[in-house]
Structure formats: structure tokens, C-alpha cells
């Protein structure tokens, strides 16, 4: 039996091709190890410049310990998928660090030393399978000076903050001293003590987040000199400050100090002091303003006007038995409302404000006025009195007429500034700033309230934060920028992987406006019918009778028919909204399921036909 020479050659060729293929794969893996091509729109799998800068500044190694209970999460696909995302990010950071970040991945087994060490770091093990095992999914970090920081548990719904949280740990372990930020506030935003309950109270979440990143120094509202070690000064609702305190702020800015100011035409966070009659406190003025300083800096603030924004109005639930209503004074700013050319506001996705005021550059101002956040063009202003006592926010739509003006809700002031107190003098007094001033102004203080941006839940003795807006990022961005630390800003302002359905939201907004118009028409018809019935009743000779006359009966029947017509139109509005959304979904499904595969098939068939034609022509 003889072997076919052609078959032997073919087998040898195939074996040689297989060897070359394997060798090529190994060579490519070796030469291009760590190379990746990120084709996502927002480059979600590429480290930001801020993270790279934080890592490059490390002078001593940082150890990261990623704890993930692989066996315990076997039946939790969402957790496992997110754990892979976290691990890939940590491995990428370690790869670009040049050995400065040392990563260790640990799968803590039950009742093991690894589990005890994870608990010692402050990581939280969640009992699963009726307490048979604990799920660990967190990160611990250490440095050479016994410094420790940790993320107790990675929450999948905080994926957009993942890289920032990791970079913050690395930055915190770098050994750099925290910047000193002075805070003057007439609001209770920091931790305190409740004498009635006899226990300490926690501050708002945003204040606690600031304390993690900066050395926060609370200053008295009566202070007459800003301490020399304060690099940035933050004023929160500076209400009723004395002339001496404002002079201290004035001179701090002229000496080169950076300033962040939060003023408000109606601060809902302001609470009545002890011993104050609650009824009297309801009517007190809750506005804050710095007119003398603002004038010197070339800006004006409307402390008696609240901005109403129909395009960015948020929905709230007023009563449990009614649907949500849009609140014109409760504004949710998106990317389009934020200045994308400034590191403070760039790529901030959502900032929620309540009863905010606006800023205007003064005529003839020598400073530069740059908007950081602004309303839409479908806006107007209202007196504070109208929003102060508002049981039904939908009434703000009554008489609402957009001015077409875009109102600046937050701004940056730069350039040379003059003192607001030219009549003062003395040792160290400055009449003009030594350099360019850098001042950030925000026309709202209620953005500090937890309810405006974050859900807080207790979790094994700790507070678990679930942000639904970027109020915290916006404030921390501003402080970071003013103290000169920009690396973490570049991390924090990266876009989220969440993609909002803008078209669907626009459809809902249009339907909501049409629905409200029909509702108002129904209310007008009801009021007109009640008036007609009352007039008919007053003209009767037997006015005391409860029986309806023929005219009253006809009027009532007319209203009932009109009511049925309007309610039918209301249902039609809702039905049309559902139909529009379903139509949009059907078009998207057709594009993804039919059109794109068909297009690729036609392209492949055309390409194959062209190759076959070229081969045929070459043979000919």
C-alpha cells in the first residue's frame, strides 16, 4: 500500500501552517502585550489622563488588594460581570504604573485568613445563600507609611464613578498633604450635636465627601482675618456677614486667595434657630447676597428672583394619590447646560438645583465673566414670594411666559479686581489684587441637600451612597480646580456609560405639555359650568329648591359631554405617546435585526462577486 504523494504534501503543508499560526499568535501576544483598541464612543476602557497623572506622581509604591469571592458569586451574573470590569481597570492601572502600583487579586475563602484580613481593612462581606457564605467585592490599599484606604463594596450602579474612586484611593495613599479649605457657612451642612436628642448629627453627604479629599477648616461667620494656611475659601449662604468679615474676604481675594461662593434667593436648607417661632420663621427672608463684593468684582446677583426653566424642570410627587408634576423652580441641568470648555463643569451630566438665582456681568466690568451652568432659553424669573409657599408646583405654569433669555446659574470671575472697601487702610491693606483673581459663583445652596443628588442607605453601620446626579462632582471639581489639583478632575468628569434616551424624553415632555393643556381646558370648562349653574340658581324664583331646572340640566349635560370629550383627548395623548415610543422601538429593532445584517450580507456578497470576477478576468 503506497501513500499518495499529493496527500502527504497536503498534510505536511497543513501542519506547517498550523505551526506558523501558533507561532504567530504567540509572537503577537508577546510583542503587543497590553495593547488594546477602544472603539467605544466615550472611550470607556481607556484610562483618563487624570488617572495616569495620579499614578505617575507616585514616589513610593502603593499596594492594592482586590477582594472578590468568586465561588460565592457563582449565581450572580451581574456581580461577576462588574467584577471583571473592575479587575480589568485595576490591571490596566498596574500595567501603566511601571511597578508603582502593585495589584493582588484575592479570593477570600470562608473562615480563612484572607477573609479576616479583608474584614480588617473595612471591607463588607454580604451574607448570601442563607448566611452560608459571605460575598466580598471590595478594594483595599496600603502604602509604605501604614496608610490605609478602602472601598468596602463595589456597587454596579456606581460604575460611572469607578475610575474616580480607584484614583482617589491611589491619590490618597500618595503621601501628599491635603489642601486646606476654609468654610464660612450659615447653614448646618457639617457634623454637629443635637441637644434635644442628646447625640451627634451627621453633616450632608457633600460636606463629608469634601472632608475626605481636603483639610476642611470651619471658620466663624464673625471672623475678621482669613488664616494664612487657607488656600481656598468657600462661602455657603453668606447671610448677614459683618462689614469686617466681608473686608477679610475682600483682602483674601486680593492677596491671591481662591474663592468659591454659594448664594441663594431662597435657601430651603436654612433652618429656624432655637427659640424662634416656627410660624414666624416661615416668613423670614432666606436670601443671601454679597452686593458690595459682587459690585467690586463686576457682577450682579438677583437675590429676589428665582429662575424658572420649563425645559429642565424636574418632576416631583406632591401627593401619593396623584401623578408626578413638573416643578419649574426645581431645575435639572444636563450636559447641554454645562460649559464644556471649563474643567469644573466639563462633562458633568446632571446637576439639580432648587429655587436658584442668576448672575449678570455688570456694565463696564473689567473682569472676565464666564458661565459655568445656565438655564435653557425656555426660562423666566419669578419673585421669591411665589415659590416660598407653593402647595401645588403645577400652578407655576399659570401665566408662565419664557423670556427667551438664558440665565447664568453658576459663573467664573477672573482678572484684576479692586477692593470693595476703598475707604479702608492700614498695614497690609491692598487696593488692587496682586494677580488675577479666580472666583467661582453658584446661585444656589440647596444643591448641598442630600435629597437633590444622592440616596443614603445604612449598610452594616455605614452609609451607602447612590448618587443620581453630579452635584457632589460639580462642587468638588470647583474646589479641586481652585486649590490647583486638576488630576482628579480629569478622572471625575469622564462621561458615564449610561446613555439617556433623549428622543423618548423629548416625546414624553411634549406629551406632558399637551396633557397639561387639556387638563387646564377641562378645569376652565368646570369653572365656567359652576359659574353658569350658580347664575341660573340665583335667578330662580324658588332659589331654595334643590331640583334642577331645564336650563340647569341642559348646562350640566353640556358640561358632561364636554368632559367626556376632553378626557377622551387626554387618553388619546397618552395613547399617542405610547404609540410613538413603540414606533421608535420598532424602527430601532428593524435597523438592528434586519437592516444592518442585510447591509453586511449585501456587502459581503458584493465583495465576493468582485473577487470572483477579478479571478475570472485574470484567468482569461
Same domain, 332 and 419: yes
**DSSP summary character for residue 63:** E
Q: What is the pLDDT of residues 125-135, one digit of tens each?
A: 888 877 677 89
Q: Which of 174-183, 234-243, 412-421 has the lowest mean pLDDT?
A: 174-183
Same domain, 484 and 513: no
Pairing of strands 325-333, 351-354: antiparallel
The C-alpha atoms of residue 16 and residue 503 are separated, in whole angstroms, by: 56
Cell of 300: 450682579
- CATH code where residue 163 lies: 3.40.30.10
Phi, psi of 530 (to 5 degrees): -60, -40
Same domain, 298 and 272: yes
**DSSP summary character for residue 317:** -
Pairing of strands 351-354, 359-361: unpaired
Phi, psi of 137 (to 5 degrees): -155, 75
- pLDDT value of residue 608: 80
Q: Which of 65-69, 315-319, 410-414, 420-424 has the lowest mean pLDDT?
A: 315-319
Per residue, what are the HEC states of 113-153?
HHHHHHHHCCCCEEEECCCCEEEEEEEEEECCCCCEEEECC
As a 3-state breakdown, the chain gives helix, strand, coil percent values, each rounded to 5, of: 40, 20, 40
What is the domain count for the chain? 3
Same domain, 472 and 516: no
Whether the per-residue pLDDT at 176 is higher than 60: the answer is yes
Listed ranges 176-180, 261-265, 540-544; the one with the highest mean pLDDT: 261-265
**Which of 438, 470, 495 corresponds to the end of one domain?**
495
Burial class (CB in 10 A: 0-12, 13-18, 19+), 307: buried
Q: How many helices (H) and strands (E) does the chain have?
A: 15, 23
- CATH code where residue 309 lies: 3.40.50
Whether the per-residue pLDDT at 476 is higher than 80: the answer is yes
Same domain, 479 and 518: no
Alpha helices in 377-501 (DSSP H): 384-388, 471-483, 487-492
The C-alpha atoms of residue 495 and residue 44 are separated, in whole angstroms, by: 8
Q: Which of 36, 141, 41 is nearest to 494 (CA)?
A: 41
Same domain, 401 and 473: yes
Same domain, 469 and 512: no
The C-alpha atoms of residue 327 and residue 396 are separated, in whole angstroms, by: 8
Listed ranges 388-397, 484-493, 504-513, 554-563; the one with the highest mean pLDDT: 388-397
Domain coverage including residue 485: 177-195+204-495
Phi, psi of 266 (to 5 degrees): -155, 95
The C-alpha atoms of residue 407 and residue 394 are separated, in whole angstroms, by: 22
The C-alpha atoms of residue 276 and residue 382 are separated, in whole angstroms, by: 28
Same domain, 184 and 159: no
- pLDDT value of residue 279: 62
- Which segments within 115-263 are labelled E, that is strand? 125-128, 133-142, 148-151, 180-185, 192-194, 199-201, 215-218, 232-236, 258-262
Whole-number CA gyration radius for the chain: 32
Same domain, 116 and 262: no
The C-alpha atoms of residue 233 and residue 219 are separated, in whole angstroms, by: 10
pTM of the model: 0.61
Answer whether residue 549 is part of any domain: no
Per residue, what are the HEC states of 572-600?
HHHHHHHHHHHHHHHHHHHHHHHHHHHHH
Cell of 532: 353658569
Answer whether residue 449 is part of any domain: yes
SS3 label, residue 194: strand
Range 151-155 average pLDDT: 89
Q: Which long-range contacts (CB under 8 A, 24 or more apart) does 106-109 make?
A: 106/65, 106/66, 106/67, 106/68, 107/67, 107/68, 107/69, 107/70, 107/71, 108/67, 108/69, 108/136, 109/71
Amino acid at each position: 500500500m503506497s501513500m499518495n504523494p499529493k496527500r502527504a504534501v497536503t498534510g505536511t503543508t497543513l501542519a506547517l501552517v498550523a505551526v506558523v499560526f501558533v507561532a504567530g499568535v504567540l509572537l503577537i501576544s508577546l510583542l503587543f502585550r497590553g495593547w488594546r483598541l477602544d472603539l467605544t464612543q466615550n472611550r470607556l476602557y481607556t484610562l483618563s489622563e487624570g488617572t495616569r497623572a495620579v499614578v505617575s506622581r507616585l514616589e513610593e509604591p502603593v499596594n492594592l488588594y482586590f477582594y472578590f469571592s468568586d465561588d460565592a458569586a457563582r449565581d450572580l451574573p451581574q456581580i461577576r460581570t462588574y467584577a471583571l470590569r473592575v479587575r480589568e481597570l485595576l490591571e490596566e492601572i498596574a500595567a501603566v504604573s511601571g511597578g508603582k502600583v502593585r495589584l493582588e487579586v484575592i479570593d477570600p475563602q470562608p473562615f480563612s485568613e484572607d477573609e479576616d484580613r479583608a474584614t480588617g481593612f473595612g471591607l463588607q462581606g454580604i451574607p448570601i445563600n442563607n448566611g452560608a457564605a459571605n460575598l466580598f467585592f471590595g478594594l483595599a490599599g496600603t502604602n509604605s507609611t501604614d496608610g490605609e484606604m478602602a472601598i468596602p463594596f463595589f456597587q454596579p450602579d456606581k460604575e460611572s464613578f469607578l475610575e474616580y474612586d480607584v484614583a482617589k484611593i491611589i491619590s490618597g495613599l500618595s503621601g501628599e498633604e491635603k489642601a486646606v479649605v476654609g468654610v464660612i457657612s450659615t447653614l448646618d451642612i457639617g457634623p454637629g450635636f443635637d441637644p434635644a436628642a442628646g447625640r451627634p448629627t451627621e453633616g450632608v453627604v457633600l460636606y463629608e465627601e469634601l472632608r475626605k479629599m481636603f483639610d476642611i477648616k470651619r471658620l466663624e461667620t464673625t471672623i475678621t482675618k482669613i488664616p494664612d494656611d487657607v488656600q481656598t475659601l468657600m462661602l455657603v449662604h453668606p447671610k448677614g456677614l459683618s462689614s469686617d468679615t466681608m473686608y477679610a474676604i475682600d483682602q483674601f481675594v486680593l492677596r491671591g486667595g481662591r474663592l468659591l461662593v454659594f448664594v441663594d434667593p431662597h435657601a430651603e436648607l436654612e433652618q429656624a434657630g432655637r427659640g424662634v417661632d416656627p410660624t414666624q420663621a416661615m416668613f423670614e427672608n432666606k436670601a443671601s447676597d454679597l452686593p458690595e463684593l459682587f459690585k467690586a468684582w463686576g457682577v450682579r446677583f438677583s437675590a429676589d428672583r428665582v429662575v424658572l426653566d420649563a425645559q429642565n424642570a424636574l418632576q416631583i410627587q406632591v401627593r401619593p394619590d396623584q401623578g408626578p408634576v413638573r416643578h419649574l423652580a426645581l431645575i435639572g441641568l444636563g450636559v447641554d447646560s454645562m460649559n464644556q470648555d471649563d474643567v469644573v463643569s466639563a462633562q458633568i451630566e446632571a446637576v439639580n438645583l432648587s429655587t436658584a438665582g442668576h448672575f449678570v456681568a455688570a456694565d463696564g466690568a473689567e473682569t472676565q465673566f464666564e458661565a459655568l451652568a445656565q438655564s435653557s432659553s425656555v426660562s423666566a424669573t419669578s419673585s421669591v414670594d411665589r415659590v416660598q409657599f407653593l402647595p401645588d408646583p403645577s400652578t407655576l405654569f399659570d401665566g408662565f411666559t419664557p423670556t427667551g433669555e438664558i440665565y447664568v446659574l453658576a459663573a467664573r470671575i477672573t482678572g484684576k479686581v479692586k477692593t470693595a472697601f476703598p475707604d479702608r487702610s492700614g498695614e497690609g491693606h491692598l487696593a488692587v489684587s496682586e494677580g488675577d483673581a479666580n472666583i467661582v459663583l453658584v446661585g444656589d445652596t440647596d444643591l448641598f441637600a442630600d435629597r437633590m443628588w444622592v440616596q443614603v442607605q445604612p449598610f452594616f453601620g455605614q452609609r451607602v451612597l447612590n448618587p443620581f446626579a453630579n452635584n457632589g462632582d460639580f462642587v468638588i471639581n470647583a474646589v479641586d480646580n481652585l486649590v490647583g489639583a486638576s488630576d482628579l478632575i480629569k478622572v471625575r468628569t469622564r462621561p458615564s456609560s449610561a446613555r439617556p434616551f433623549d428622543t423618548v424624553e423629548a416625546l414624553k415632555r411634549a406629551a406632558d405639555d399637551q396633557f397639561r393643556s387639556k387638563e387646564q381646558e377641562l378645569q376652565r370648562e368646570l369653572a365656567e359650568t359652576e359659574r353658569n349653574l350658580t347664575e341660573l340658581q340665583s335667578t330662580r324664583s324658588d332659589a331654595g329648591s334643590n331640583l334642577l331646572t331645564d336650563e340647569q340640566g341642559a348646562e350640566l349635560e353640556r358640561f358632561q359631554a364636554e368632559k367626556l370629550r376632553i378626557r377622551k383627548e387626554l387618553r388619546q395623548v397618552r395613547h399617542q405617546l405610547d404609540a410613538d415610543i413603540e414606533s421608535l422601538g420598532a424602527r430601532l429593532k428593524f435597523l438592528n435585526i434586519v437592516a444592518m445584517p442585510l447591509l453586511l450580507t449585501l456587502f459581503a456578497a458584493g465583495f465576493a462577486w468582485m473577487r470572483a470576477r477579478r479571478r475570472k478576468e485574470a484567468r482569461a
